Amino acid sequence: MKTLLTNLKKRHDITASKLQRNNELFVTVPNNQAVSLVTYLRDHEGFSHLVILSAVDWLEEEVFQLTYLLNNPELKQDIGVRTLVDRNEPVMESIHHLWEHSATYQRELFEMFGISFPTSPRMEEPFILEGWDGPPPYRRDFDTLKYAEETYFPRPGRTTNDVAAYMKEKLYPEDDND
Amino acid sequence: MIKFDEDRSRFPEKNPDGTNIIDLESGRFTHLWQGPVHPGITGNMSLELIVQGDEVMSCKTHVGYLHRGFEKLMERRRFIQCLPICVRICVPEPDFNEYCLCATVEELAGVEVPDAGQWMRTLLLEMARLQGYLMWLGGISGALGMGIIGQWTNYGRDLILDRFEEITGGRVYHMHMMPGGVRSMTPDGFNQRMEENLREISEILKDVHKTMIENTVFRTRTVGTGYIDPLMVNKYGITGPNARAAGILRDVRIEYPYLRYGELDFEPYLGKDSDIFTRTLVRYNDTLTSVDLIRQIMSKMPSKGPFMADMPNMLHFKIPRGETYIRAECSRGEFGYYTVTDGSGYPRRINARGPSYTHGVSLIEKLGINANIADVAALMVSLHIYPPEIER
């Protein structure tokens, strides 16, 4: 994996790297080089299997981290290509021409994080959240509890009890000592 | 006798890019929904089909009937609190979720699981695979009109669930693995009862071979149907038995031996025709392998010894910033967790990668086109799709 890293450093601006296991490496590249690095890894280094395309919301740093996790089935190695996307204007180049199933990942990321991948097929079609009109729910600033309370409560006939008080009332009504 | 025009080259008419021309207004097409509730799939997922005659012209997957936002929920829970949530990501085979989450925590926190704990985990995962395959054999036979076989194999599955109940207290969801090890080892007399069950399951599997795999109707309907080109394996992210049926070895147990799989002696069955029949054969032979593996594990597993590492209080447990990907081979293919931690007691992001994510959306949308409408159910089952892991 070290040879691979030295190789990659000659071609791309690797800003950070971490060897997580002896067959798993994570590298960070600037936004505009990510797709070319992923293409290079697929075509020349044998990383032919796209395992996952995932996003992480670093709300404090105002960025989304995109991770392209690739696998080399011959050498049994994994490489995670990380890149940062501006959180206020989340647009990223699509990789649907490299792997067919990446379009599904991109569709999900658009729906859940609001990261746009122009030219990705059927990206704007609802995937999981059909009929949803709220903000992208997997962003860190989307508070599920607050949303549920505002949208679904109070339902008629539904009450919330303080646990300690309720247990005392039901189990030990005569006991005045705490 | 009615004769059909056998020249299909002009039917249906095509766009310049090779896709079918679909004009719903013309009255020549029928819009049809397969699902969301049907016996072919464990869970709810529907295929939106447009058919002309009995041939599928367009196929689109619709999921979202089971979305519960587990990945988001887990970001607000401590690692130990994630365990009861994560098992629900894949309902019929939850143990792989437990393993991936526990192994992630252990790797990022630098915890070593004792030997007995590792063996116990291997046993649990192999039992989960066996019951998953038995359920699947029932599914494929049901999709092709042989419902009674499903009743036999589900009886076999129930026997394994009894053993699960004996070890863990739960039949479907176990939560027996914990970060650092497992909750307990097997109870007294477990091996003997398991051996009796395995013998009974082997008898059922012999019957399944006679009545399903050697059945002419089954062969006629499945041989040559639902062909996956080996070149599609990487392009569509195909893993597990679906790739092995195409002659390509994709088995995490062999390629990246985890737990104690490196010490077990087994070889997965490789097919070459890559149709529904070959996928059935691969899974049938894997079921036999699984029975054998459970026997091997029981003979090699230590009955005593520490099974849990010393762990700090999990409620105040903090994991330094880092990320990793842990994979395991479930009955459908590669199952993995990509986890990012930020130094707090909570995960920053957990993303579960289920094999159905690729098989159930992009692959079936491709294979469904030009299939016969009667084969769609068998096609869906032959890819072994569990919708809960697509939408999490």
| pLDDT tens figures, B316-343 | 788 888 899 999 999 989 999 999 998 8
* Alpha-carbon gap: B324 to the closest alpha carbon of chain A (Å): 7
Cross-chain residue pair B340–A56, CB shorter than 8 Å: yes
Site from B76, B229, B323, B369 to mutate, A interface, most A CB atoms within 10 angstroms:
B323
Cross-chain residue pair B62–A52, CB shorter than 8 Å: no
- Burial of A109 (C-beta count, 10 Å sphere; 0-12/13-18/19+): buried
- As for the ipTM of the complex, it is 0.87
Find the mean pLDDT for residues A165-178.
76
List chain A residues with CB under 8 Å of B89: none
CATH of the domain at A21: 3.30.460.80
* Annotated domain spans of chain B: 70-391
Q: Is the dihedral of CA B63, A87, B350, A149 positive or negative?
A: negative
Note the helical H segments in A45-143.
Answer: 102-113
Residue B317 pLDDT = 81
Q: Write the pLDDT tens digit of every residue in A135-169.
A: 899 998 888 888 887 887 677 777 777 777 888 88
Highest mean predicted confidence (pLDDT) among A2-6, A20-24, B118-122: B118-122
B321 interfacial to chain A (CB closer than 8 Å): no
Residue A109 pLDDT = 92
Confidence of residue B121 (pLDDT cuts 50, 70, 90): very high
B22 interfacial to chain A (CB closer than 8 Å): no
Residue B156 pLDDT = 93
Residue B88 tokens, joined: 């629900």
Cross-chain residue pair A49–B234, CB shorter than 8 Å: yes
Q: Write the pLDDT tens digit of every residue in B337-350.
A: 999 998 888 899 99
Residue B81 pLDDT = 85
For residue B3, pLDDT beyond 70:
no
Q: Write the pLDDT tens digit of every residue in A63-82.
A: 999 999 999 999 999 999 99
B348 interfacial to chain A (CB closer than 8 Å): yes
For the beta carbon of residue A100, count every other beta carbon within 10 angstroms: 21
Residue A7 lies in a domain: yes
Confidence of residue B2 (pLDDT cuts 50, 70, 90): low
For the beta carbon of residue B147, count every other beta carbon within 10 angstroms: 12
Q: Which CATH superfamily is domain B70-391 in?
A: Cytochrome-c3 Hydrogenase, chain B (1.10.645.10)
Residue B392 pLDDT = 81
Site from B358, B385, B391 to mutate, A interface, most A CB atoms within 10 angstroms:
B358
Closest CA in chain A for residue B231: A48
CB of B354 within 8 A of CB of B334? no
Q: Write the pLDDT tens digit of every residue in A23-45.
A: 899 999 999 989 999 999 999 98
Find the mean pLDDT for residues B361-380.
88
Cross-chain residue pair B67–A128, CB shorter than 8 Å: yes
Nearest CB to B235; choose among A52, A100, A140: A100
Residue B8 pLDDT = 60
Please give the C-alpha separations between residue B307 and each of B114, B178, B179, B186, B189, in angstroms, as whole numbers.
5, 10, 11, 11, 19
Nearest CB to B64; choose among A99, A103, A130: A130
Find the mean pLDDT for residues B243-266.
90
Find the mean pLDDT for residues A119-144.
87
Give the predicted TM-score (pTM) of the model. 0.88
List chain B residues with CB under 8 Å of A103: 362
Residue A76 lies in a domain: yes
Note the helical H segments in B78-208.
Answer: 79-86, 95-109, 115-143, 147-168, 190-208
Closest CA in chain B for residue A48: B234
Residue A178 pLDDT = 53
Cross-chain residue pair A138–B72, CB shorter than 8 Å: yes
For residue B207, pLDDT beyond 90:
yes
Cross-chain residue pair B351–A54, CB shorter than 8 Å: yes
Confidence of residue B388 (pLDDT cuts 50, 70, 90): confident
Nearest CB to A52; choose among B75, B336, B391: B336
Percent pLDDT > 70 in chain A is: 98
A4/B299: higher pLDDT: B299
For residue B145, pLDDT beyond 70:
yes
Find the mean pLDDT for residues B357-376.
88
Percent pLDDT > 70 in chain B is: 96
Residues ≥6 apart with Cβ < 8 Å to B159:
B197, B200, B201
Confidence of residue A47 (pLDDT cuts 50, 70, 90): very high
Query: Cα(A62)–Cα(B85) distance, rounded to whole angstroms?
Result: 29
Nearest CB to A24; choose among B63, B325, B362: B325
Residue A38 structural domain = 2-132
For residue B57, pLDDT beyond 60:
yes
Confidence of residue B166 (pLDDT cuts 50, 70, 90): very high
For residue B278, pLDDT beyond 90:
yes
> How many domains, in total, are found in chain A?
1
For residue B39, pLDDT beyond 80:
no
Nearest CB to B353; choose among A23, A24, A52: A52
List chain A residues with CB under 8 Å of B357: 101, 104
For residue A176, pLDDT beyond 70:
no
B36 interfacial to chain A (CB closer than 8 Å): no
Q: To which H or E segment does residue A28 belong?
A: strand A24-28
Report which of B132, B133, B162, B137 is spatially closest to residue B150, judged by C-alpha positions.
B137
Q: Report helix, strand or coil for A112.
A: helix
